[in-house]
Amino acid sequence: MSSKRILIVGGSGSWGNELARQLLLTTNDSITIFSRNEYQQVKMQRKFNNDRLKFVIGDVRDYESVNLACYSVDIVFLLSALKHVPICEEQPDEAIKTNIIGTQNVIKACINQNVYRCIDVSSDKACSANTLYGATKFIGEKLIINANKYEKTIFTCIRSGNVLGTNGSVVPLFIDQIKKNNQMTITDRLMTRYFLSLPEAINLLLTAMNAPAGSLLVMKMPSCTIGDLAETLKDLYGDKNTSMQEIGIRPSEKKHETLISSEETPVCYIYNSDYYVIYPEKLGLQKVKFKEYTSNNQILLTKPEIKDMLDRGGFLI
């Protein structure tokens, strides 16, 4: 297929904007943005001003609207999700409707409309999940991988860490706190998290377009302590009077994140120099040698390396 028809479900957010930007630059594909946020769609339309980009109002919870949007589509990217951990804890029914039932709706629509491939976006919080959000994404992964048994659509999945600059990201939150109050509130200085830039996250998505059916791709990501990240941002945006208040870890929040669990390593392989793949069948690839892949069992980024990461993410003033 030289020119494809692409549907981005939940495509009016930061991921969808960057994915659309890269596709418009590098392909001749026609792209449809499916989301329920009409204001964000209008902003995208004005921003890109490109006839190859179309917009459809709809909700992933509504099977009929998803099924209609999938008509005559080649590739579907599933980006929609409720992602804010405390909100999902407080309103589990809503998280289930979007993150689980919505995923089921996309799977059914893809199969019904003979979509060639569907790529789902998951989260490191799906691995060894201990929150409602993480649990819904874990179930979403299982639904996507299991859907390959129908042999009509190729279903693959990616598992991502924290993406710099996306909605709810800690980096713009810290910057905003410094500018407004000259103070940052951090949970735990020694907490570690994976970080990647938005373009890197989209590259992971695009790599999944060619991955084997049933595979779950994981990027090799750098990690750092929240304390070092906060201090780097203080140096960039604050002054000698900028303070950091440590407020403690929230209920159910992990001190360290896991991207690949010890239960998954027996079926985890080195996909290439940048990615691992979790796949239940032999690929003829080299097996990984670690017991699990967590944000604190690797060499952490130094402050200069964090600064370089923020520069690549567009956060340097």
For residue 265, which amino acid is it? T
List C-alpha distances in Å: 39 to 8, 16, 173: 17, 14, 23
CA dist., res. 41 & res. 37, Å (int): 6
Place of tokens 């992990």: 254
3-state secondary structure of 224: strand
User: Which H or E run contains 229?
Assistant: helix 226-237
Which position among 4, 97, 125, 289 bears the catalytic label?
Answer: 125
**Is 234 among the catalytic positions?**
no
In sequence order, what are the residues at sequence separation of 6 or more whose Cβ sits closer than 8 angstroms to the Cβ of residue 278?
159, 215, 216, 218, 260, 264, 267, 268
4-40 in b/e burial notation, b at 16+ Cβ within 10 A?
Answer: bbbbbbbbbbbbbbbbbbbbeeeeebbbbbbbbeeeb
Active site residues: 125
